[in-house]
Amino acid sequence: MKPYWSETLRGLSPYVPGEQPQQASLLKLNTNENPYAPSPAALAAIRAAADGDLRLYPDPDGSALKRAVAAAHGLDTANVFLGNGSDEVLAHAFLGLLKHPRPLLFPDITYSFYPVYCALYDIAYEEIPLDGEFRVRLGDYARPNGGIVLPNPNAPTGIALSRAELRSLLAGNPDSVVLVDEAYVDFGAESAVPLIGEFANLLVTQTLSKSRALAGLRVGYALGAPDLIGALETVKGCFNSYPLDRLALAGATAALADNAWFADTCGKIAASRDWLTAELGKLGFEVLPSRANFVFARHATRSGASLQQALRARNVLVRRFDRPRIADFLRITVGTQAECETLLASLREIGLD
């Protein structure tokens, strides 16, 4: 421990994001980015906002973007909280809504940032094991808790719960917040957003990083009852008054209005995913049934580490988590159809067929 460091930092291990190589020659299937360029309307809005008004602070409330988010989901702006990527939104939710004497519950195999937030904010938690098929068993969450966090679809498995399943979970936990992290929902899972009017304990987070192809812009949001949004606004107001810059506000607002781009690209990615799933199966992979823009797959005979290394040698990046139960799985982002074909060709070169 360093002499000037606060006790809070003792033992903290930061989240490790996927590699962001600076060379352009790599096929990047490791961080679940969208393979398509973002909406041209978003890019045009950003360029238009790159003017002398950048000398001025942004709107601290992000009112125009809140209206766009609310409109996209049939909600009111009082149901919307904005953040600098959904990671910031999640951080504020962990501190403001999920830190309680009773433990927070989330799956043992899930987004690996959750236990990091818990360590940062000293939040008690229990990891609930996925079942033998890597599915969330909702019955396992019927225990005293201070909150529940579930990504839907789950990451890195890609497996989704139905809205009916989430409804039963919400109804069974009226005293604690259920946070449904919908980073990947737009690629084919059922959103919990229509349940917001019904459940005061439901908080949904979404991001523009995946389905809107704006990972480089850092915009995420939470949706929920005004009381939950108020908690997030309180944390935000004590942390950073202006988390979204003028360019992010402008670009995100325009992106949310481009429904044609959104439907087209999400549809293409979902189709490529289903095709890739089938093709990987033919090469000897077990592929979990994904509703996200990635697949989680392990080969019958080859270790995950050896495959990841062999792909890297062919300039293809995929992600692997060196953790119990899943160390042999590769998490592979769904690229364009041509990129999926390049991946499969590389796997054949490695000797799979």
Instruction: Enumerate residues 89-148 that contact its own copies by CB under 8 A.
Output: 91, 95-100, 116-117, 119-121
CB of 54 to its own copies, least distance (A): 4
Q: What is the Rg, in whole angstroms, of the alpha carbon atoms belonging to the chain?
A: 20
CB of 285 to its own copies, least distance (A): 26
Interface residue with its own copies among 72, 169, 192, 213 (CB under 8 A) is 213
Q: Which of residues 29-48 bind its own copies (CB under 8 A)?
A: 31, 33-38, 42-43, 46-47
Residue 34 or residue 308: which is nearer to its own copies going by CB?
Answer: 34
Residue 72 or residue 235: which is nearer to its own copies going by CB?
Answer: 235
CB of 301 to its own copies, least distance (A): 33
Q: Are the beta carbons of 96 and 83 closer than 8 angstroms?
A: no
What residue spans of 23-62 are helical by DSSP H?
Answer: 40-49
Query: How many residues interact with its own copies (rule CB under 8 A)?
Result: 88
Q: Are the beta carbons of 218 and 85 closer than 8 angstroms?
A: yes
Q: Which of residues 55-84 bind its own copies (CB under 8 A)?
A: 55-60, 84
What residue spans of the chain are helical by DSSP H?
Answer: 40-49, 63-73, 85-97, 114-121, 163-172, 226-237, 246-257, 259-282, 304-313, 337-349
Cα distance between residue 319 and residue 312, in whole Å: 10
Residue 351 Ramachandran class (φ > 0 left, ψ -120 to 50 alpha, else beta): left
Q: Which of residues 236-275 bind its own copies (CB under 8 A)?
A: 236-248, 251
Interface residue with its own copies among 70, 80, 192, 231 (CB under 8 A) is 231
| 303: amino acid identity, one letter | S
Q: Look at the block and give the residue holding tokens 């229509």.
A: 194
Residue 284 or residue 315: which is nearer to its own copies going by CB?
Answer: 315
State residue 263 phi and psi, 5-degree precision. Answer: -65, -40
Site membership for its own copies, residue 230 (CB under 8 A)? yes
Site membership for its own copies, residue 300 (CB under 8 A)? no
Judged by CB under 8 A, the stretch of 169-177, 186-194, 267-275, 328-336 that binds its own copies is: 169-177
CB of 83 to its own copies, least distance (A): 9
Interface residue with its own copies among 14, 132, 324, 351 (CB under 8 A) is 14
Q: How many CA atoms lie within 13 A of 229 on its CB side?
A: 19
Interface residue with its own copies among 76, 133, 198, 227 (CB under 8 A) is 227
Site membership for its own copies, residue 25 (CB under 8 A)? no
Site membership for its own copies, residue 332 (CB under 8 A)? no
Provide the residue count of the chain: 353
- Give Cα 35 to chain centroid, integer Å: 16
